[in-house]
């Protein structure tokens, strides 16, 4: 059984996907003022997962272009939606292999020498998803979309609290 924080990350990912259901390729690449476009947000979260769970934890980089184009502080881009979902799926699938093996002891240990523990990185990743999900839903509302998710989904059924 995965560590409880891994369950929370997976639930958060599913809420991110749910919040972006039905976004069109054109809408996903539209920038409104200084806000990031939705496709960038997807790629940026793939970059963060790659950074934490593949690079920091395992010393591997699956998709170097994420580091070059979507890392924190890089210039704004409007990448194609399908490419960003593909990158996100590849990275999260690769990350899940490592995340599935996490024990409570490993969660409490530094992710890599000189870094915070893996649990802190899990929390940072989870909160980063929620931040960008809110941003993405704001973009979709500004684009005139209606009927968007307006509350956290089935956490009781999918990721209820359980002690680690």
pLDDT at 150 over 90: no
What is the pTM for the complete model shown? 0.95
Q: What is the pLDDT of residue 151?
A: 83
The sign of the dihedral angle between the CA atoms of 164, 102, 7, 146 is: positive
pLDDT 10s digits, 129-143: 999 999 999 999 999
Mean pLDDT of the chain: 95
Least confident of 69-73, 83-87, 154-158: 154-158
Q: How confident is the model at residue 79 (pLDDT cuts 50, 70, 90)?
A: very high
Please list the residues that pair with 110 across neighbouring strands: 117
Other C-beta atoms lying within 10 Å of the C-beta of residue 90: 15
Write down the domain spans for the chain.
Answer: 4-146
Tokens describing residue 151: 């509350």
Q: What is the pLDDT of residue 1?
A: 87
pLDDT 10s digits, 32-50: 999 999 999 999 999 999 9
pLDDT at 60 over 80: yes
Q: Which CATH superfamily is domain 4-146 in?
A: dinb family like domain (1.20.120.450)
For residue 35, give Cα distances in angstroms to 16, 39, 76, 134, 142.
17, 12, 9, 12, 11
Q: What is the pLDDT of residue 159?
A: 86
């Amino acid at each position: 059984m995965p560590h409880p924080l891994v369950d929370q990350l997976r639930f958060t990912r599913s809420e991110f996907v749910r919040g972006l259901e039905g976004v069109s390729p054109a809408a996903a690449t539209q920038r409104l003022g200084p806000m990031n476009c939705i496709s960038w947000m997807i790629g940026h979260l793939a970059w963060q997962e790659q950074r934490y769970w593949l690079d920091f934890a395992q010393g591997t980089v699956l998709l170097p272009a994420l580091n070059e184009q979507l890392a924190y502080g890089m210039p704004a881009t409007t990448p194609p939606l399908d490419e960003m979902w593909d990158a996100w799926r590849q990275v999260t699938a690769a990350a899940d292999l490592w995340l599935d093996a996490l024990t409570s002891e490993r969660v409490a240990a530094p992710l890599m020498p000189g870094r915070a523990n893996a649990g802190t990185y899990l929390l940072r990743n989870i909160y980063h998803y929620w931040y960008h999900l809110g941003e993405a839903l704001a973009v979709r509302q500004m684009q005139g979309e209606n009927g968007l998710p307006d509350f956290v989904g089935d956490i009781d059924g999918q990721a209820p609290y359980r002690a680690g």
